[in-house]
Structure 1
């Protein structure tokens, strides 16, 4: 053997090609981005485009890694102080500026800090407030004031963030992350720091850190959207050229970066399922050449194939589990393949055996051409629509991509180079190459991660690691792939179309009324896209069912989809849809139910055939029924072991009558759902009533009409009895619930407002309530967080669903136990403010925010389909969505105030719920 190697080396000496490979071409940057640098060292990036919006980012090359041990948490603390007073914006005036410009403010929306960066973000609806925004960004640069009073108040907010992000009982993922980085420099630099150092921080300490690290040579500014290059450069010069250059050098890369890849066995947190995972190292995360990009993409294809095969095998064997995954798992600058499952701990040996045998089969025998083709669809679509996809990117997406590139030292590719890389992938990803990649990946060293239930013995599980490694290396068994040659059922008797008419011209909307009372709506996009988005739905949902079927309703969608249709089982249907690049969701919500299908235009007939078959001929496989039922019961059992689950159940029992559809299902003593009950749920929801079919995409009405006759108009539907949508609150709502059960050192405070609402629903009312929700959220943040520093992220939730004759709103805060009474008072102050008056200025501000939030749906067909489905199904009409701005601006302050009185005034029932530490 040695002689052969020597001979090969001698033969290669005259041939330089044998000695060195051609270097892989580097990724080519997008020349539409303009990057420059001011004399003070500040770097800027400008990307003008055709959208109205403008997005701005201010990036600092400083994070928790730049902190000394006595400065733990300072980088993050300084980020918070940017919103608490500066040279041109006193106290929280900047928040008002952001909101009045139509932008959103809230936790994690406008700034964040990591190990190596601090980033400030603003997404404006237009360029009218750019000067105000850049004035604030310049204040962040060198004009923050660090008022001692504001510093002390903000400590309460950061303590709230500790409560929000870190539990006393650490979830397994957090435990393992800390294990993984234990050997790196990151381990001693948690982004939030320590509670002790945060509490001890002074305004002077923070200002010293700020002055050291907020310097122009450490900063980068990104501006994208509605501007010219000349405008962008003029703004940069005007606001940042006078910023004095500092002396702090840009931070060096982390030295200790080798992560700890030893096996890991630990108990999961309360409420978590037991788990088994493999973590396979795949190298550095960075990509600067086409070779590296191709390597990443081949790994991505392999991960998707593993994920799909595991789901097929687990489905076919009806193996009980909660989650199943194979995915790319980046951790800091490293990337991994993570493969595993969560499950009831009694299933451990079965789950581990099934995962390892499936991986051995993939390693030794690979996948079929059909399996591979299904995973290549997204790459082919990306290649075909590369230019259009880039054109459709919004300014905030461009800005976020640039920040990602700065952080990861990556290249934002030109469209041509992006397409070149995809062509290279599609040429390379042959069945031979992909199966070789699967073999190479699954032969790689893997760390075993075991999350143990409290009932399991850690020492015993640790002893079993060596046996698991042996099982992983054994010879695999070839799996016979599902036969997907079967075509979907073709109905022999067509139905009739009663009427067909254009009901809107710009955009074009066509309506068909079918003989079975199905109304079909086509929203034509004219975007030259191949994909269509469908919703088949009606009013009903859980509320339309008798109480004896409530125990079956939650499992019905999963049971039916996993059981298959016609002559195909669930795996075959799934393979068939993947081969056609289709996806389907089957949802039964509280007051409505639907099938949602995304499909390419040439396969619209298959999508409609699926709707026909799921509506007329459901299948229930007994093994799937048992597996799905056990999974649902186990998930609820796990939830009820947590303090939050117990607290939620107490509130639920105190609020609703026994026959309410809001009661938690599968509690002890309830009967197990049967096959007959699942079929009865389907019978009552999909074989009667008046359905709507929404189609959004670039397709001609003439291409749809014959398919409606063949597949939809002939679905037999009987008349639907009147649906009583009523959650059945108890006649006397328990007005105060206190439970001392929290295992965390924090309190949860909930103020709930329930009021009867039998007024006619309309699109305008939906818009109004969205605006009121935004206003309440702003007032909560202003009072609970910014003024009093009680919680990091107080929230308002709307519980009631479309069509329910009640409004049901919750205010929630997670606070220090000593601050419960103060929090209750702060909630009441918000309610008093809302019920006393709402100003025109407040109304106009939230109207502008709503317009900004809804406008993008005009360019997002999948979102438009969802909104049209909701508005048409519940009788709101679609006209408001065609003129978002006029609808929002038609709402007056008086109407807002009147609705606030109805929801929060004297006529509403108030329920206070508090969970305290035990």
Structure 2
């Protein structure tokens, strides 16, 4: 594959840093044998394509070792230097016996702890020294079908990849399943299970049990049960491992920036000697949808809005992935897209439901499902279901128009063509994950061009006609079994009778008329005015070269040509003052912007017309509120850049004020309000940002009474002047021609009228005072769930950006220590973390935060452990090995991100108004890797003092 030039990685002197470390005197983990890989006969048949007539993607190289292990390897240089490893074991919860529920997932945890040749926890430390971040670069996941171990190895070399495969091979063949290991890890898995118990998960569990009644999937939750996990013994887990962890059930996928010949050689060296014990067991029969099982169910969840989920199930039949199968499935998807567009159009116009959608999927080799989800407006779910059924009934009775079909096919065509254009810069991690997903559903992967050829073949065969789409609609809405489940806030003894009645009700009179779509083009957008002139040009950053342009109307631009992301262009438009333009003494409609501002339209064009403009183009529109600016953005292509800019400029120059999206935003917020107190993490999401700013209402989620006050008049009165004022900075980064990009900005934003200055209303951000005892909040969820937070004030702004970068290293050290103590040592939490935030646009707004979910009686433990760690960091410098295990992953993460455009957009945003941000770019590398133990100690002294922290706990509501 031709490699496109990319931004070269940051010059992070990691090797110099490592060489400066003294001899650490620690035990050295076992390393792979140095002898050459054994000579074995490899079957090079492309096993993935067995039974398929889809063209083999030549970039993939396949093989099967004599012991049965399959592999797939591929060269990929995105990001440079990285190698993605995925080891998929064909064992998931569907392979478990009744007494083994949760064992596949439990075994995933135990495998990561240690193995016959790797001491407990040492694999994490080895990989940290190689630049791997625990939890993101090294992780695993268990599904009903499989368990996949994931490793993204930065700056990979033969030696580091060899060592990593050696560790993975020993994890698979000989994990340390001892009573001591099981006793240490079982509480972590139980903590993960406890943290998952939230209303949405309970609804999903009830839905799974209903839909798949009579099948294995209905009774096999991946996480297991408290009874089976507590009943697990070292011997029973060993027996499960011996039965299922075999090379015949393993698939190793390696994608990265090294030679595939090397991948194959190291696979043979580390995995060819793996032998299974006893016979390879047959995969259980997962069953088929059973029409004799109950058709409906209802659950009560006081904090969830009413939700109705309907489904039609058919037996799973994806036994061979062929061209014909894919073309027929494309017709099915067009049918679903048409239904979804009609459902969304009706919701936008003001309906009995806030949202509804239809989906077609294959579920864990157990069923092919057409599902329909309905979120009512308010509590009247019966009317909402009838209205949705009316749309479905119309689709079943009457063929769609060719115009409707062509719109969907054209959008699919555009998406596939964009995939072809951007294929050379698809990340190796994505390639590897795609292959894992394909194996899970018994499908193949192929090149983007071949996928597009399959679509074009379907078009040439005239498969996308009204009659064929109607036949597809009828086919996917019929099946072996039909199910429906409803959740309500309060018990209702007649709920299932009502549900059955709604599903059988005559809805023929509710269908209404199909709305005609107004034909619009980009010329339908409001006019912007006469393009201005380029007032000045200069190089803002020398390496990488980023150019700054000022236009005659005061608009400024930053332009960066980076062909490394071929076919992708990122646009960010910063204007006004963001959070600093909002009052800090009262609640405003700012919270509703993400739900309503973009959907309110442009000029006289509503969201439906904007969708029509952009649907078959690589044009998007997003909105956010930053610390010091409002942000409009989008990702586009080189060909669509000009119109992307026109669309964003028109949104600022002539915003529409359709009242319907405001009403919908209010309904969505009201519907979900109760859920914000349902779990500890929901309470944190609702309140923490506001509390960490001493109650500032600009952050956090408003009270229900403030949500209910939202109306279109006040929304417009608040946002209209904010959209019209304040300086504009446009960033255009990516696969661009600089001159054409400057011209596109000149004729769009450069054509706008000069803008009035914007006023900073609230510049200051207050950190809460130290508290002797934690602030206590309450949640309405499970009595065994709680959360704890500890935070210290840090800095912010552009003056000391370097200090903010070094605080990331300090946070990494704290995070690793808390993981070791709270998760691995105490086993009371699955997900403790520490993060550092240094807002460049908000002086004084930074903080270091430690938080976790855990049992209510362990909140004091977390806070005391965090304070002990802080005190130790103040008292003495850390050891060099611990420093290295913090710096190298952090620096490698920065280095990898620096190969993409979003990283440089983040570093330079606001730089035309505050040049200090641009001046801080050359020191990025040294700020991270030249951090010393003494500097971290000094930062700990400065920020982590015992009289400087603020603490909070979220506990269950007190029993009445």
Q: What TM-score, normalized to structure 1?
A: 0.88
Instruction: Provide the residue aligned with 2:952 in structure 1.
Output: 912
Instruction: Provide the residue aligned with 1:440 in structure 2.
Output: 474
Whether the 8 Å CA contact 1:303–1:337 is kept in 2: the answer is no
Q: 1:467 to 1:341 in 2, by over 3 A?
A: closer
Shift in Å, 1:680: 3.8
Whether the 8 Å CA contact 2:93–2:101 is kept in 1: the answer is yes
- Structure 1 position 177 matched with structure 2 position 217: no
Q: 1:312 to 1:763 in 2, by over 3 A?
A: farther
Deviations 1:462-521 (A, max 9, x none): 335344334356794441323132611123333333113344566553322123332112
Query: 1-side partners of 2:675 and 2:416: how far apart?
Result: 44
Shift in Å, 1:437: 5.1
Unpaired stretches in structure 2, ≥5 consecutive residues: 1-49
- Structure 1 position 781 matched with structure 2 position 819: yes
Whether the 8 Å CA contact 1:218–1:250 is kept in 2: the answer is no
Query: 1-side partners of 2:641 and 2:670: how far apart?
Result: 37
Query: 1-side partners of 2:482 and 2:815: how far apart?
Result: 44
Whether the 8 Å CA contact 2:93–2:145 is kept in 1: the answer is yes
Query: 1-side partners of 2:813 and 2:463: how far apart?
Result: 52
Instruction: Provide the residue aligned with 1:411 in structure 2.
Output: 444
Q: 1:822 to 1:770 in 2, by over 3 A?
A: closer
Query: 2-side partners of 1:902 and 1:373: how far apart?
Result: 63
Instruction: Provide the residue aligned with 1:398 in structure 2.
Output: 431
Instruction: Provide the residue aligned with 1:752 in structure 2.
Output: 790
Whether the 8 Å CA contact 2:554–2:754 is kept in 1: the answer is no
- Structure 1 position 271 matched with structure 2 position 303: yes
Instruction: Provide the residue aligned with 2:591 in structure 1.
Output: 554
5 Å-filtered alignment, 1:455-474, equals 455=490, 457=492, 459-460=494-495, 462-471=497-506
5 Å-filtered alignment, 1:185-200, equals 185-200=216-231
Q: 1:104 to 1:609 in 2, by over 3 A?
A: same
Which deviates more, 328-337 or 126-135?
Answer: 328-337
Correspondence for 1:257 among 279, 288, 291: 288
Deviations 1:654-705 (A, max 9, x none): 7666664236424437882454532343244322222211112333233234
Query: 2-side partners of 1:665 and 1:732: how far apart?
Result: 25
Query: 1-side partners of 2:902 and 2:412: how far apart?
Result: 19
Deviations 1:74-124 (A, max 9, x none): 332222222333232211111101211111222895223333433222211
- Structure 1 position 716 matched with structure 2 position 745: no
Query: 1-side partners of 2:283 and 2:667: how far apart?
Result: 53
| Alignment coverage as a number of residue pairs | 895
Instruction: Provide the residue aligned with 1:8 in structure 2.
Output: none
Query: 2-side partners of 1:339 and 1:870: how far apart?
Result: 44
Q: 1:404 to 1:664 in 2, by over 3 A?
A: closer
Instruction: Provide the residue aligned with 1:15 in structure 2.
Output: none
5 Å-filtered alignment, 1:491-570, equals 491-504=528-541, 507-526=544-563, 529-538=566-575, 540-547=577-584, 550-570=587-607
- Structure 1 position 41 matched with structure 2 position 41: no
Unpaired stretches in structure 1, ≥5 consecutive residues: 1-22
- Structure 1 position 822 matched with structure 2 position 861: yes
Q: 1:652 to 1:112 in 2, by over 3 A?
A: closer
Instruction: Provide the residue aligned with 2:89 in structure 1.
Output: 60
Query: 1-side partners of 2:256 and 2:211: how far apart?
Result: 40
5 Å-filtered alignment, 1:153-232, equals 153-167=184-198, 171-232=202-263
Query: 1-side partners of 2:643 and 2:76: how far apart?
Result: 38
Shift in Å, 1:881: 6.6
Deviations 1:813-869 (A, max 9, x none): 222344444334333333334434344444443333234434454565566556654
Instruction: Provide the residue aligned with 2:130 in structure 1.
Output: 101
Query: 2-side partners of 1:162 and 1:482: how far apart?
Result: 48
Query: 1-side partners of 2:785 and 2:438: how far apart?
Result: 40
Which deviates more, 665-674 or 610-619?
Answer: 665-674
Instruction: Provide the residue aligned with 2:18 in structure 1.
Output: none
Shift in Å, 1:643: 6.4
Equivalent position SS for 2:112: coil
Whether the 8 Å CA contact 2:61–2:73 is kept in 1: the answer is yes
Which deviates more, 874-883 or 888-897?
Answer: 874-883
Shift in Å, 1:262: 5.2
Equivalent position SS for 2:265: helix
Query: 2-side partners of 1:533 and 1:426: how far apart?
Result: 32
Shift in Å, 1:279: 2.0
Correspondence for 1:888 among 898, 910, 928: 928
Whether the 8 Å CA contact 1:535–1:693 is kept in 2: the answer is yes
Whether the 8 Å CA contact 2:93–2:104 is kept in 1: the answer is yes
Deviations 1:20-46 (A, max 9, x none): xxx997223334333333333333333
Correspondence for 1:332 among 364, 370, 382: 364
Deviations 1:370-424 (A, max 9, x none): 5445434554345545555443233323332332333333222255643431322
Deviations 1:610-662 (A, max 9, x none): 33332233332344433433433343344246666567778788766666423
Query: 1-side partners of 2:660 and 2:677: how far apart?
Result: 26
Query: 1-side partners of 2:850 and 2:937: how far apart?
Result: 18
- Structure 1 position 280 matched with structure 2 position 317: no
Instruction: Provide the residue aligned with 1:693 in structure 2.
Output: 730
Equivalent position SS for 1:191: coil
Correspondence for 2:146 among 117, 124, 142: 117
Whether the 8 Å CA contact 1:64–1:115 is kept in 2: the answer is yes
Q: 1:247 to 1:146 in 2, by over 3 A?
A: closer
Query: 2-side partners of 1:391 and 1:596: how far apart?
Result: 24
Shift in Å, 1:203: 2.4
Instruction: Provide the residue aligned with 1:19 in structure 2.
Output: none
Deviations 1:775-823 (A, max 9, x none): 3332222211112212112133557755331333432222234444433
